[in-house]
Amino acid sequence: MNKNLIQRIATALVAGSVVIAAIFFSPYGLWVFASVVAVLSLREFIYLMKVPKGYQRFALIGGILIWLLALAELLAENLSEIPPSVYFVLAILILPFMVIRMLFDKKVSQPVPLLGNIVLGFVYCFLPLILFYKISLPAISSEYDPSLPLGILLLTWVLDSGAYFAGRWLGKHPLFPRISPKKTWEGSIGGAVLCIALGVLLEKMLPAQPYNWIVIAAIISVFSQLGDLIESMFKRSIEIKDSGSLLPGHGGMLDRFDGIYVSIPFLFLYFSLL
């Protein structure tokens, strides 16, 4: 067992245990998880896209305000004196404030690509986490049920682990060599089979739910792997191996959660159609 694999397993056990405990015991734990992943992912993304530090601060402040709005909704009647609309307006105003600053900033010769990278960061990193938060708390007034967010994360992690080990042991045929030469069809199929098997198990263990875990597992099996390839495409375009080093053995937040950035919008669509 090489050093990278040991780091990968150790990080997964420690970080996974913390995340599962936080989400299981409280909706506030879910909020902390989603907001931390979204903000740190955005920070990695805009850093990798070489967004100047001044504009990085604008983007991160806007992101934090968005998650304060989500917290305000969670607190509902126990809300402090600041209404949710204030956070919403301030978050929206971040964009025109950035554009106004660009107007007077002589150092910005290409404002459109700069603004495009920042907006893409919000759409890519923030929108999926907001949707994940929304489908996990469909009604603030109802009793909190952690089984859905935990199930989605477990299915995604099982998919990733199954694909990783099946690819290492059985991989022979490249899946997408132009983007990710090391990924194989054997790894992809192995991960999908393990993910759907867990979906079948969850369906038997949690039969009273209004949604179907096998369908959820199938959506994750397809779109989470596409999310992994999309992030590989981003990294290849800027010639880096990992988005960061925050998670030993896994890379950065973007490396660890790339699957849910693409699968969650499709899961949100599935839940919307129920």
Q: For the chain, which residues make up each domain, given as ranges?
A: 1-24+144-274, 27-141
Distance CA 19, CA 37 (A): 11
The answer on pLDDT for 80 being more than 70 is no
The answer on pLDDT for 5 being more than 70 is yes
The answer on pLDDT for 78 being more than 60 is no
Looking at residue 2, its pLDDT comes to 66
What is the sign of the dihedral through the CA atoms of 110, 112, 113 and 119?
Answer: positive
CB atoms closer than 10 angstroms to residue 84? 16
As separate numbers, helices (DSSP H) first and strands (DSSP E) second, the chain gives 10, 2
Question: What percentage of the chain has pLDDT greater than the value 70?
Answer: 92
Cβ atoms of 31 and 67 closer than 8 Å: yes
Distance CA 257, CA 52 (A): 24
Question: What percentage of the chain has pLDDT greater than the value 90?
Answer: 48
- pLDDT per residue as tens digits for the range 133-180: 989 887 555 678 899 999 999 999 999 999 989 998 998 899 988 888
CB burial readout 153-177, b (16+ within 10 A) else e: bbbbbbbbbbbbbbbeeebeeebbe
Tokens of 25: 């015991």
Whole-number average pLDDT of the chain:
87
Looking at residue 94, its pLDDT comes to 80
Looking at residue 83, its pLDDT comes to 65
Identify the three-state secondary structure at position 182: strand
Query: Which pLDDT band holds residue 70 (cuts at 50, 70, 90)?
Result: confident
Distance CA 120, CA 54 (A): 17
